[in-house]
């Protein structure tokens, strides 16, 4: 099968389109015939080997890609609830070989039925970013109807889903993005959208129940501004788990009896199913800003590395109507 692997850490040039053996699913896994794979910042962070903590988990050569949509080709002996031919979406095993490949073996518990109204391309843009938003908002932030939620990075992959999920659950949503994306964030459903460069949110926003840091900022001085807009007892959730809160942030949270939470995404099947229901009900849209063929994966990485993608980037691996 065709796959994009790395044999060494480095720039986009280390991505190689190779012939690789088709994986064999373990008892608790599915073999998925992959139609499309999402591209996420973690892909190029792994590729360039810059994250020391992550690097120690990785074995080369490695097939990248942790966002898949496709059709079940084989079902492991202990798997229930899936049949060959089911259209699915989910998160491949991490660490492990991923979805930049024609086939991928992955834990069945990390996959669910694909939203029916989405193409494979659209569905591949959902799992990792969607689950990260869900984990942050509901797993850690405990967001409820009527609460005020501030989302940083609201035009990106994680933030764009967070805006829509929080709205779907009845929250009042304030999204931060750059000036050119404010209309987009409003169109996703945000009640207010502010330019993080030109409008100081710390002066314009207050009484926030939950802040979700879904921007790439890993700056504890910026976090202090976000803590300042929280209500007493509020929750600051960061998805940037590689950048812990410093002493000043912890002290500011304590002064407000507020909580600080780090949110590593949880690849839960029940959450993927709930997200699919929201999508099929028309409450959540999936914005794919660009589709690249698998062979152009290096260009997709270069675009993702700008940190200014609106919505999602996706790699097409098989044409939508190709046989599985």
Ligand X SMILES: NC(=O)c1ccc[n+]([C@@H]2O[C@H](COP(=O)([O-])OP(=O)(O)OC[C@H]3O[C@@H](n4cnc5c(N)ncnc54)[C@H](OP(=O)(O)O)[C@@H]3O)[C@@H](O)[C@H]2O)c1
Binding residues for ligand X, rule: CB under 6 A, are: 40-42, 128-129, 132, 152-153, 155-159, 177-178, 181, 196, 214-217, 239-241, 263-265, 307-309
Nearest-approach distance from CB 280 to ligand X, in angstroms: 23
Tell me, rounded to whole angstroms, the distance of Cα 45 from its chain centroid: 14
Q: 2-11 burial, b for 16+ CB within 10 Å, e for fewer?
A: ebbbbeeeee
Q: Which is nearer to ligand X, 147 or 152 (CB)?
A: 152
Q: What is the separation, in whole angstroms, between the first and last Cα of the chain?
A: 13
Q: Which is nearer to ligand X, 46 or 79 (CB)?
A: 46
Nearest-approach distance from CB 146 to ligand X, in angstroms: 26
Q: Which is nearer to ligand X, 31 or 300 (CB)?
A: 300
Q: What are the residues facing 177 on neighbouring strands?
A: 195
Q: Which is nearer to ligand X, 7 or 197 (CB)?
A: 197
- How far apart CA 153 and CA 139 sit, in angstroms, is 19
Nearest-approach distance from CB 156 to ligand X, in angstroms: 2
Sequence-separated (6 or more) residues with CB below 8 Å from residue 303:
290, 309, 313
Q: Which is nearer to ligand X, 1 or 54 (CB)?
A: 54
Closest residue by Cα to residue 67 from 28, 48, 29, 41: 41
Nearest-approach distance from CB 178 to ligand X, in angstroms: 3
Q: Determine contact, residues 315/324, Cβ cutoff 8 Å.
A: no
Q: Which is nearer to ligand X, 50 or 273 (CB)?
A: 50
Nearest-approach distance from CB 287 to ligand X, in angstroms: 10
Q: Which is nearer to ligand X, 101 or 188 (CB)?
A: 188
Residue nearest to ligand X (CB): 156
Nearest-approach distance from CB 67 to ligand X, in angstroms: 10
Closest residue by Cα to residue 41 from 128, 154, 163, 162: 128
Sequence-separated (6 or more) residues with CB below 8 Å from residue 26:
76, 105
- How far apart CA 143 and CA 165 sit, in angstroms, is 10
The single residue listed with the structure tokens 């929201």 is 278
Nearest-approach distance from CB 250 to ligand X, in angstroms: 19
By DSSP bridging, strand 208-213 and strand 111-113 are unpaired
Q: Which is nearer to ligand X, 99 or 132 (CB)?
A: 132
Nearest-approach distance from CB 264 to ligand X, in angstroms: 5
Closest residue by Cα to residue 91 from 300, 271, 297: 271
């Amino acid at each position: 099968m065709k796959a994009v692997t790395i044999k060494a850490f480095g720039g986009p040039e280390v991505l190689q389109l190779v012939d690789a053996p088709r994986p064999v699913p373990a008892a608790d896994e599915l073999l998925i015939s992959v139609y499309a794979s999402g591209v996420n910042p973690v892909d190029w962070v792994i590729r360039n080997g810059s994250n020391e903590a992550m690097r120690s988990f990785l074995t080369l050569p490695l097939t990248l890609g942790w966002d898949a949509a496709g059709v079940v080709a084989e079902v492991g002996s202990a798997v229930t609830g899936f049949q060959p031919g089911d259209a699915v979406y989910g998160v491949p095993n991490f660490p492990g070989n991923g979805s930049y490949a024609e086939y991928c073996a992955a834990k069945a518990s990390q996959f669910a039925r694909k939203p029916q109204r989405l193409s494979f391309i659209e569905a591949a843009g959902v799992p990792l970013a969607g689950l990260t938003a869900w984990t942050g908002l509901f797993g850690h932030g405990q967001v409820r109807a009527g609460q005020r939620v501030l989302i940083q990075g609201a035009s990106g992959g994680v933030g764009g889903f967070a805006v829509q999920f929080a709205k779907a659950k009845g929250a009042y949503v304030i999204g931060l993005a750059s000036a050119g994306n404010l209309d987009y964030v409003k169109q996703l459903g945000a009640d207010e959208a502010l330019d993080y460069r030109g409008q100081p949110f710390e002066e314009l926003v207050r009484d926030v129940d939950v802040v979700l840091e879904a921007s790439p900022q890993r700056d504890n001085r910026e976090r202090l501004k976000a803590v300042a807009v929280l209500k007493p007892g509020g929750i600051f959730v960061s998805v940037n788990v590689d950048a812990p809160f410093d002493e000043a942030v912890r002290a500011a949270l304590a002064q407000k009896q507020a909580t600080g939470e780090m949110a590593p995404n949880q690849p839960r099947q029940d959450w993927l199913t709930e997200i699919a229901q929201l999508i099929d009900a028309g409450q959540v849209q999936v914005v794919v800003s660009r589709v690249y063929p698998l062979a152009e994966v290096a260009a997709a990485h270069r675009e993702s590395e700008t940190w200014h993608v609106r919505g999602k980037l996706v790699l097409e691996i098989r044409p939508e109507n190709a046989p599985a």
